[in-house]
Every structure is written in C-alpha cells, then in structure tokens.
C-alpha cells in the first residue's frame, strides 16, 4: 500500500448533527488515535459560508477528514481549495447519503448511477489538494421512481455494478474506498430506514478487496463489537463505526490495541476533562449544551445512565452540574 494514503484501522463515521467539533473533542477525551470525520458539508456551504465556523477545528482533533458533498467538479474544486487553509488530513466525497434533499440535488448516493461524473468530481478534488482524497459510498443503489427516465438503468445493486463503479473511480487515481455494506433505496425508504432495512452484504466488500488488492478498503455498517472489528480486519484494511461509538463512547477504550497501547481512562477522568472543556466554553460564551448533548452515552449500559442523561440534557447544565455529578460519583465509590 502506498504511503500517500491516510491509513488508520478505525474511524468514526461522519454523522450530520453529531460529529461536530464538540463531539470530536469528546472522542479525544477517550481516544487520541481513531480517525475522525466532520459532518457532511456541501461544497456550496463552503464556497458561500462563514469558514471558521464551518471548517475550523482544534489541533487535538487530528487526524481528521473533511467530508464534502458536491454535484459538480467546479464546486468540488473550489471547496477543496478553500479548505486547504485548514489542516485536514484527508478530504472525502460523500456518495452514500440517501437523503432526498441530497439525492434530489444529484449528490450523495444517487451519484452512484453516474460513475463518470463522480470520477470527474474526485479528479477535481485531487487537483485542488495534495492530501488523500477518498470516497465513501454504498455497495449499490435502487434508484427506481427517482432517477430520471433518460437513464436506462435505475438499479445498481449487483457486485458487478459496484466493481464497475470502483474501476471507473480508480482510473482517476483514487485509492481509498470507504464502503457502507448495504444498498441505498432512494425512493420509499427514509434516511434512517436506509441504515437499517437493506441487508448488510459484507462479503461483497471483502470480495472487492480480494479482487483488487491495491485498493485501500474500509468497511462500514452495523459494526458493534471489538470481535466484529477483528473479523473484518482479517479481510479489509480498516473499519468505520458510527452509531455504536455515538451511543456507547466508552467502546473507544477498547480500540487501544489497534494502536499498540492500552487505554485505561475512567469515566471520572473523562468527566474531569469535560469540566475543563465546558469551563472554556463558558468563558467564551458558548452554550455548554452544544457539547453536553453529545455525551449522553457515557454511562451506556451502566447503573445511573438515566440519571446522567437527565442531568446533562438540561439545557442549562454546565460545569457546575458536571462538578456535582463527579462529586456524587466519587462518594458512591466510597460507599
């Protein structure tokens, strides 16, 4: 595998409304090594937006990937050029989102019906940066009732369809493929259902790696345990996990072994780190709720989980609430 690709065994999936800078800082309170993603940001938002607000992040968040959605090469080029001012490690194109708002604009998963167009967008992104440019896509799509009539074929859901797609993308020099192992049904299923209903077909992701070993292949979809990760890593290069990390962030402590270390941080130590972060927010006049809302899973599966959620979900919660919770936790330990 060439050295010019960002390689990291575990990544935290891009998730709109979740993987913002506050959640990413929270992840870093537990694990310093996993690769993180921004939320998906449209090229247009970057071209027209308040850049520091949209693209800014803290050094501690590296290694980090900027994920964009784009409909054409011109916008993609401009957006990536603008993002060059920020220290992202990799730029990723979203070709996996089934949302109609995104698909209706010919972004996200619907682009899988137009591999040549995707190749042009990626080529433009590569021309705008020397960093790794990668793609996140599905194993296929069902575009019936939504793709235009001019397109003779509307369902791209066989392994051969995916291989054809990947082959076309490779030709412009893309080597890193993050593959969500289920198809996206563009009409009839909503975004959430599209992450649950179409069956997972991990074998097809394994197969593409086997047939084209030069590809760097990262598998995604429904991965929940360290044991599952170990099994996937026998077949592909890396694993991407979304919901399980968000819902149960302490799972990040189990990932030290992929980086040759042991992570022994306790919930109490994490709360101490949270207090420092929240105190800084308070000094800067930023509402702590924007951070705390991402930490509801800290006591996942533990006694006291409901209590924790209730306390940090209070829109007025801040460092004071955290300090009290920490005190109670320490007292409880002494009993």
Ligand X SMILES: Cc1cc2nc3c(=O)[nH]c(=O)nc-3n(C[C@H](O)[C@H](O)[C@H](O)COP(=O)(O)O)c2cc1C
- Shortest spacing between CB 227 and ligand X, in angstroms: 15
CA 67 distance to own-chain centroid: 8
Q: Which residue's CB is nearer to ligand X, number 94 or number 322?
A: 94
| Dist. CA 238–CA 55, nearest whole Å | 25
Residues forming the site for ligand X (CB under 6 A): 13-18, 39-40, 67, 94, 96-97, 136, 180, 195, 220-223, 241-244
CA 58 from chain centre, in angstroms, equals 17
Sheet with 155-156: strands ordered across: 155-156, 141-142, 184-185
CA-atom Rg of the chain in angstroms: 20
Residue 329: Cβ-neighbour burial (10 angstroms; 0-12, 13-18, 19+): middle
H runs (alpha helix) in 96-201: 100-103, 115-128, 159-170
Beta strands in the chain (DSSP E): 10-12, 35-42, 64-69, 90-95, 132-138, 141-142, 155-156, 176-180, 184-185, 216-220, 238-241
Cβ(72)–Cβ(107) under 8 Å?
no
Closer to ligand X by Cβ: residue 33 or 39 = 39
Q: Which is nearer to ligand X, 166 or 278 (CB)?
A: 166
- Answer yes or no: 192 catalytic: no
Q: Which is nearer to ligand X, 83 or 241 (CB)?
A: 241
How many helices (H) and strands (E) in the chain?
A: 14, 11
Nearest to ligand X of 14, 140 (CB atom)? 14
Q: How far is the CB of 149 from ligand X (least distance, A)?
A: 28
CB closest to ligand X, residue no: 242
Least Å from the CB of residue 43 to ligand X: 14
From the list 64, 95, 97, 251, the catalytic residue is 97
Least Å from the CB of residue 91 to ligand X: 13
**Shortest approach of ligand X to residue 240 CB, angstroms?**
7
Q: Are 109 and 103 in contact (CB under 8 A)?
A: yes
Smallest distance from ligand X to CB 293, Å: 13
Nearer to ligand X, 25 or 67 (CB): 67
Helix axes 21-28, 267-284, angle to 10 degrees: 140
Catalytic positions: 97
């Amino acid at each position: 595998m060439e050295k010019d690709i960002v390689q990291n065994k575990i990544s935290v999936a891009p998730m709109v409304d979740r993987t913002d800078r506050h959640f990413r800082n929270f992840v870093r309170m537990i694990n310093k090594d996993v690769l993180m993603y921004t939320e998906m940001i449209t090229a247009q938002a970057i071209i027209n937006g308040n850049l520091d607000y949209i693209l800014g992040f803290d050094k501690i968040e590296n290694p980090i990937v900027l994920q964009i959605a784009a409909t054409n090469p011109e916008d993609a080029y401009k957006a990536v050029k603008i993002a060059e001012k920020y220290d992202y490690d990799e730029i990723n194109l979203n070709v996996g989102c089934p949302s109609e708002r995104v698909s209706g604009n010919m972004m996200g998963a619907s682009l899988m019906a137009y591999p040549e167009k995707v190749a042009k967008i990626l080529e433009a992104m590569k021309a705008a940066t020397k960093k790794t440019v990668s793609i996140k896509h599905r194993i296929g799509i069902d575009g019936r009732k939504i793709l235009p009539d001019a397109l003779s074929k509307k369902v791209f859901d066989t392994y051969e369809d995916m291989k054809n797609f990947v082959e076309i993308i490779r030709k412009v020099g893309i080597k890193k493929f993050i593959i969500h192992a289920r198809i996206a049904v563009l009409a009839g299923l909503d975004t959430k259902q599209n992450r649950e209903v179409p069956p997972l077909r991990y074998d097809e992701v394994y197969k593409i790696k086997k047939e084209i070993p030069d590809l760097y292949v990262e598998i995604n979809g429904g991965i929940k345990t360290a044991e599952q990760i170990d099994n996937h890593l026998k077949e592909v290069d890396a694993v991407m996990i979304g919901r399980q990390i968000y819902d149960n962030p302490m799972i990040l402590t189990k990932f030290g072994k992929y980086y040759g270390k042991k992570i022994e941080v306790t919930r109490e130590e994490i709360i101490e780190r949270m207090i420092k972060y929240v105190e800084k927010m308070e000094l800067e006049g930023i509402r702590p709720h924007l951070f705390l809302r991402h930490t509801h899973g800290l006591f996942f599966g533990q006694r006291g989980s409901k209590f924790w959620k209730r306390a940090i979900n209070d829109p007025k919660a801040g460092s004071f609430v955290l300090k009290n919770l920490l005190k109670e936790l320490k007292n409880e330990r002494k009993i």
